[in-house]
Structure 1
């Protein structure tokens, strides 16, 4: 599975977990067709869940006029994924993590979601 596809599937699994009672593995199984789970997808989903509090605090510390609770779920999910990659995955350059998060926000979010995600993540560099 390509990393972009793995990120999209991880985004979908994390978003589902934010909106339901699904556990991590159940959410991953729900979004992938192949029973063998991609290791990058697995790392993203479990990493975001395992480090959620730390990531949320880091993101919140870079918000100017927004409170963390006000961020819509799509943008929050994209921010968490990118923040995890920036902090915990040395293989992925920060700019790649940011660009991928912006693309996810554009695909799944509102018209200005990509700009918002880009602005917050750029401050986190």
Structure 2
């Protein structure tokens, strides 16, 4: 499983946890194709994002203009949390790669506006984190 597919599966699992209140292991199993094995990267994205959710939500909330995190779409929230987790805690991936992958995922799942929205939130969040 390459990293792009892992990000897609992780976003789906995080979305499921947010909407259906699924447990992480249950959500992970539900996004895998028959016979597909979860990569370490996929597990790290899901379980790491869940572990750091409160911290990630604080960062996101501080960088929303005219919005609250509760008002964000479930897909946008899942992708933003996952991307921030990856940029904060996974050192071997360039931040611009994670950033671009998150925007592409947002466009694929939520459309052009979601891509722009996540771009803005991640840009502002990264400026603060880099200070």
**Structure 1 length-normalised TM:** 0.94
Q: Which residue of 1 aligns with 2:129?
A: none
Cα distance in 2, alignment partners of residues 19 and 63 from structure 1:
21
Deviations 1:2-37 (A, max 9, x none): 100000001111111111132111111111123532
Report how many residues are paired.
Answer: 125
1:26 aligns with 2:26: yes
Match of 2:87 in 1: 86
1:15-68 C-alpha deviation (Å, 9 max, x unpaired):
111111321111111111235321100000001111000000011111122222
Query: Structure 2 regions of 5+ residues with no counterpart?
Result: 127-131
* Structure 2 residue 2 is the aligned partner of structure 1 residue 2: yes
Structure 1: state its 5+ residue gaps: none
Residue number in structure 1 paired with 2:114: 113
Which structure shows the higher helix fraction? 2
Q: Measure, in 2, the Cα distance between the counterparts of 1:97 and 1:111.
A: 18
